[in-house]
Copies of this chain bind each other. A is one copy, B any other.
Amino acid sequence: MGTPELTKNQSLVMGALTHAEGPMSAYTILDKLRDHGFRAPLQVYRALDKLLEYGLVHRLESLNAFVACSCPHDHEHDHGVTAFTICEGCGQVTEFHDEAIEQRLSALVRAQSFKTEKTTIEIRGHCKSCA
Q: Which residues of A contact B (CB under 8 A)?
A: 61-62, 83, 85, 87-88, 94, 96, 98, 100-101, 104-105, 108-109, 112-128, 131
Contact = CB atoms under 8 A, between A and B. Distances in A.
A94 B113 CA distance: 12
Contacts of A121: 105, 119-121
Nearest to A116: B125
Given A94-B114, A104-B104, A105-B123, 14 more contacts: A61-B61, A61-B122, A85-B112, A105-B121, A109-B123, A114-B123, A114-B125, A115-B126, A117-B124, A119-B122, A119-B123, A119-B124, A120-B121, A120-B124
Given A101-B101, A104-B100, A94 B112 contact: yes
Total copies of this chain within the assembly: 2
Given A96-B108, A101-B104, A104-B100, A124 B118 contact: yes
Contacts of A98: 104, 108
A56 to B, nearest CB: 20
